[in-house]
Amino acid sequence: MSQRKFDEFQGKEVVATTLTNKNGCTAEILNFGGILHSLKVPDKNGKFLDIVIGHNDAQTYFIDGAYHGALIGRYGNRIAEGKITINQKTYQLALNNDGINHLHGGNIGYNRRFWNIDAVSENSITLSLLDKDGEEEYPGTIALTVTYTLTDDNALVLEYRAKSDADTYFNPTNHSYFNLSGYQGGVITDHILQMNADFYTPTDDDLIPTGEIKSVTGTPFDFRTGKAIATDLASDDADMKRGNGYDHNMVLGEPNVYKENCCTVTDEKSGIVMQLSTDMPAVQLYIGNFLDGTYTGKDDKPIVKRTGMCLETQYYPDTPHHENFPSCLLKAGEDFYSKTEYRFSIL
């Protein structure tokens, strides 16, 4: 483990902590946004590639609306019209998604906050945050920690723990963009994705779920046997057009049930394979359709469309408005725990 000053922002030091495993893999995490800034794993030739997209400074992480590498909360994904009702009281959240809906926790979500570094070891770091009652208009104070662990079998494990003093909605995730050819490796549309998802949730034009839980059979969203991401990008499917490509909630199963290797991403060029396991009920598949080159990456080159893909483990979007969706209402005094693992190997 090592630490360095990454930047200074808002009068505070941004600290980068590098975790190392016995194989030489490294993961660098910032105390600003809990951001996964770098993740280096070996390719088929033994060369270590940094496979996450990111920026060189905290200011760009702050202003770029793409949430690169960041921890997301209090609620990952969208809430229609920013309205939630808990115990017969309605709360109006920020309309930070085109002025219409609430997205990823609001204007100052977890991605834009400084986290405390509670504990570090050679291969693990625990960050904590006190998300106070009324911040971004959410009810209840949540005390939460997120632990990143880089294991000796080349897995990056994220563990979320939280407790609230009042009933509230809670749906945390991580928004890393992966490119298994390396962050300079071009577009990810030739990556092969296999996903154990029999259903997905269609959306309206504002990417809010309609409430339908639809079979992937006969649609571009069927990744059960594996296919290149590019395979159905030109489809006339209405949901594909709404998302400008894949930007959809894929249903993995029941909450609080660990789904091992439920998603596998393979890059034949580098030979790197990434396997996702999680106890969350769903994952948002997003392939960087709205990255437009406005901001530069770690190589000082513009981050352009589809140069990274996200697999954001989560509850479904807009759960407060759909009784048929698994609920992410966190009751006062209840312990929240969730685990997501990204495991890396070679073809």
Q: Where are the domains of the chain?
A: 2-346
| Predicted local confidence at residue 309, as pLDDT | 98
125: left (phi over 0), alpha (psi -120 to 50) or beta: beta
Cα torsion at 225, 226, 229, 232 (round to 10°)? -30
Q: Which of 68, 102, 175, 248 is catalytic?
A: 175
pLDDT per residue as tens, the chain (347 positions): 899 999 999 999 999 999 999 999 999 999 999 999 999 999 999 999 999 999 999 999 999 999 999 999 999 999 999 999 999 999 999 999 999 999 999 999 999 999 999 999 989 999 999 999 999 999 999 999 999 999 999 999 999 999 999 999 999 999 999 999 999 999 999 999 999 999 999 999 999 999 999 999 999 999 999 999 999 999 999 999 999 999 999 999 999 999 999 999 999 999 999 999 999 999 999 999 999 999 999 999 999 999 999 999 999 999 999 999 999 999 999 999 999 999 999 99
In the chain, the amino acid numbered 49 is L
Domain topology for 2-346: Beta-galactosidase; Chain A, domain 5 (2.70.98)
Q: Is residue 312 among the annotated active site residues? A: yes
| Predicted local confidence at residue 313, as pLDDT | 98
Closest alpha carbon to 237 in 250, 220, 215, 253:
220
Q: Which of 104, 312, 322, 341 is catalytic?
A: 312
| Predicted local confidence at residue 3, as pLDDT | 97
In the chain, the amino acid numbered 340 is T
Q: Which residues, other chains included, contact 71 with Cβ-Cβ below 8 Å and sequence gap of 6+?
A: 33, 34, 35, 110, 111, 115, 127, 146, 172, 173, 174, 175
Q: Is residue 28 among the annotated active site residues? A: no
